[in-house]
Amino acid sequence: MLAVKTKNLSKIYRGYRGFLKKRETLALKDLNLEVKRGEVFGLLGLNGAGKTTVLKVLLGFTPPSWGEFELLGEKGINNHIKKRIGFLPEEPNIYDFLNAEEFLGFCGKLFNLSPKERKLKTEMLLELLSLTSAKKIPVKEFSKGMIQRLGIASSLINDPELIFFDEPLSGLDPIGRKRVKNIILNLKEKNKTVLFSSHILAEVEKICDRIGILHKGKLIDSKNMEEITKEASLEDFFLKTVNKRD
């Protein structure tokens, strides 16, 4: 069964440049993508390839220009599906006047968790992301890596079936990266589905079941990781694939 399925999913951004001069940017073109339930799927590409646009469309932040998609067996995105999804944006924007404990409690309220559930989930996630000792510190005093870890914690507060991570390893030190990789692998063991974008190919190679490569808004290849690493590293495969299209 599929967790994500897209059919000819496309996005054109329209705007103006200069004095009433229209500008159109084709950020995504005819994306046909399938992500199986219980797998870790890496979405790769150069800057501006369309990775974040894919996530924004799937999460309902921006409508597709044409095409359609399914999440967890349902067409499009709705409030029922949103309750079963977790999301980490590329740059988490967290209320800086709250501390970590308060912020996770607030996120739990958004999903209508009971006070007992919120407390238990908050304590568990703070421990999982090594933030327990900082739970009373205002977010405005957090480092970039701490904010990233708190963002990951917030994306898991509702025990989602499908998790979207946009550059989850960004801003993390080696210990933080190791911790987040283990979290992703543990989610897979629980039959959760993780779709994430990343530029850190060496780390992607260690945790993904499959990858897809976006280039100039198009999906130019999608393969099992085992198939790729039999012949080359993911980095070599990625560069060879992208260079063929330039």
Both tokens of 40, joined, read 């870790």
- pLDDT at position 114, please? 96
What CATH number corresponds to the domain at position 178? 3.40.50.300
Mean pLDDT by 10 residues, the chain (246 residues): 96 75 85 96 94 96 96 94 95 92 96 96 96 95 95 97 95 91 95 94 92 95 93 92 85
- pLDDT at position 25, please? 86
DSSP reduced 3-state for 220: strand
Calculate the CA dihedral of residues 244, 200, 77, 71 and round it to 10 degrees: 80
Q: Which domain holds residue 144?
A: 2-244
Nearest of 34, 14, 68 to residue 219 by alpha carbon: 34
Measured in degrees and rounded to the nearest 5, phi and psi for residue 148 equal: -60, -45
- pLDDT at position 200, please? 87
Q: State the amino acid at position 8 in one-letter form.
A: N
Residue 63 to residues 60, 69, 184: CA-CA distances in angstroms?
6, 11, 28
- pLDDT at position 190, please? 96
Number of separate domains in the chain: 1
The DSSP H or E segment spanning 30 is strand 21-31
Beta bridge partners of 80: none
